Amino acid sequence: MGVIPARLKSTRLPGKVLRSIAGKPMIYWVYRNARRSPLLTELVVATDSVEVLDACREHAIPAEMTGEHASGGDRLHEVMQRSSAQIYVNIQGDEPTLRPEHIDLLIGPLLADPAVQVTTLKTAIDRETARDPNVVKVVTAGDGRALYFSRAAIPYDRDGCPDISYYKHIGLYAYRRDALAHFYRWPQSSLELSEKLEQLRFLQNGVPIHVVETAYDTVGVDTESDLQRVIALFESPEPDAFAP
């Protein structure tokens, strides 16, 4: 089951999930592109906003109301209480350029290995991008297990090594039902509160996160400039796979 948590009261760009891209609200494109994954049997928008609920109904998007929550993972947990799926995919409501391939990469390791509890994605970036605190970075072990996520440029390049690789974390997740239940029961962790990254709650409680690399980056919309970048991509004469 895919769940798209969508709140209207974004701090940096209020109302962003309803901002127009190519004549449709952002949430429409997130749903439309996620829906193209053959591995999702259900997909729903979860929101605490009547405006978002109405917009979803206008565009024939399944949606349900939830209470107010501190994180998308907490909102997804509420949806889980009313469903019976065994794997849940947390699809950010501000990722209009996601591809169905992203969803498939998330779910694949959970289907292949019962020991995998949580998955997410990474994509290679350059040094300049790594220095941007708005871009979350991840470092992983050789087996794909996440070692840490940070807004800082990790790993730190102390000696100016030319061979350091940097990876952006793409904020999409898939969880087994039990892992999501544990996430909800734990209090927000100190690292989570410091970095403002909810996935650190798993790491600080000893739950490994399996990270899959993708060649396809996304443009997560956090600011007005991000939104304008997405609009330009959708209006390009040679639109990418996510465009209309």
Angle in degrees, 0-180, between the axes of helices 26-35 and 100-112, rounded to the nearest 10: 50
Whether the predicted pLDDT of 165 surpasses 90: yes
Mode of pairing for the β-strands spanning 137-140 and 146-150: antiparallel
**What pLDDT does residue 240 have?**
59
pLDDT in tens, 13-28: 889 999 999 999 999 9
Whether the predicted pLDDT of 243 surpasses 80: no
**What pLDDT does residue 110 have?**
97
Percent of the chain with pLDDT over 70: 96
Q: How confident is the prediction for the chain on average, in pLDDT?
A: 92
Whether the predicted pLDDT of 161 surpasses 70: yes
Whether the predicted pLDDT of 167 surpasses 90: yes
Whether the predicted pLDDT of 239 surpasses 70: no
C-alpha–C-alpha distance, residues 232 and 150, integer Å: 29
Cα angle 10-14-17, degrees, rounded to a multiple of 5: 80
**What pLDDT does residue 30 have?**
97
Mean pLDDT across the stretch 93-120?
96
Mean pLDDT across the stretch 110-136?
96
21-24: long-range contacts, CB 8 A cutoff, minimum separation 24 = 21/96, 21/227, 21/230, 21/231, 21/234, 22/231, 22/234, 22/235, 22/243, 22/244, 24/59
Structure tokens at 22: 């190519």
Determine phi and psi for 35, rounding to 5 degrees: -60, -20
Whether the predicted pLDDT of 241 surpasses 80: no
Mean pLDDT across the stretch 185-190?
92
Q: How confident is the model at residue 216 (pLDDT cuts 50, 70, 90)?
A: very high
Give me the domains of the chain, ranges plus CATH numbers: 2-223+230-234 (3.90.550.10)
Whether the predicted pLDDT of 244 surpasses 80: no
pLDDT in tens, 37-79: 999 999 999 999 999 999 999 999 999 999 887 777 888 889 9
**What pLDDT does residue 201 have?**
94
Q: What pTM did the predictor assign?
A: 0.92
Q: Which of 150-159, 189-198, 231-240 has the lowest mean pLDDT?
A: 231-240
**What pLDDT does residue 9 have?**
79
Whether the predicted pLDDT of 219 surpasses 80: yes
